[in-house]
Amino acid sequence: MAILLKKQIDVILADPNPLILSAMSEKFSADTRFSLVSTVANAENLIATVMRVQVHLAITSWSLPQLGAEKVIQILRDHPMAPKILVYSQNQTKDVPRRSMVAGAAGYCGKNQTVDELVDTAIAVAAGKMVFPFMDLRDLQSDPLFLLTKRERVILQSLAAGLTNKELAAEFNVSINTVKFHLSNLYEKLEIRNRSQAIAFYYSRSQEIGDRAK
């Protein structure tokens, strides 16, 4: 069923490969359903553009230089001007779509799919749909990090940075008792008992998940 759009979709394209970026730019510029706002080649420029110009959709390569798409999504997802983010990747493993979803992306498209399929996915995402290949959600739900709230993820990262309970309370403008409450929930969800184990857990997962807490 065709998706009806009330207005053009403002879009940013991000890819380090100039040939791919040029081809995508040509395709989206020619499609009257889109208004191509900018093309960028790295994470820093994508973040800077989104902070400066409000757009509906950002389409980004997973392998984005400097930070990677996962980190960009984590940085942007709580920003009031954040666009919906569609990730595409040549990586065919289920891990990239999963990580994209957990980080906060709204859709995923493999680079083995056609440009027309990418456009169709972009339209669906801009219309508010979540578009991902099939994945067993039990894989997500069995991941302890998936169970944490955004606040708990930030606290976990702050613990790894060495903040004390008093510093956490000041950082989040809450009481020390509230910090202790969050820590208790965090420990229970991660099935650990103390701060040291939380820090060890964080660093044991940091390579896989980047800084998902942000």
Q: For the chain, list the domains and their CATH numbers.
A: 9-136 (3.40.50.2300), 143-206 (1.10.10.10)
User: Residue 135's pLDDT is what?
Assistant: 54
User: Residue 172's pLDDT is what?
Assistant: 87
State the CB neighbour count (10 A cutoff) for residue 78.
11
Comparing C-alpha atoms, which of 88, 130, 121 is closest to residue 9?
121
The single-letter DSSP state of residue 4 is P
The single-letter DSSP state of residue 109 is E
User: Residue 201's pLDDT is what?
Assistant: 82
User: Residue 91's pLDDT is what?
Assistant: 64
User: Residue 92's pLDDT is what?
Assistant: 59
User: Residue 159's pLDDT is what?
Assistant: 87
User: Residue 167's pLDDT is what?
Assistant: 92
Q: Is 60 helix (H, G, I), strand (E, B) or coil?
A: strand
Q: Which residue has the tokens 């493993």?
A: 93
Please, are residues 16 and 42 in contact by the beta-carbon 8 Å criterion?
A: yes
Low-confidence ranges of the chain (pLDDT < 50): 1-4, 136, 207-214
Comparing C-alpha atoms, which of 57, 96, 98, 94 is closest to residue 76?
57
Q: Could you report the per-residue pLDDT of 17-54, keeping only the tens digit for each? A: 999 889 899 999 999 999 999 999 999 999 988 888 88
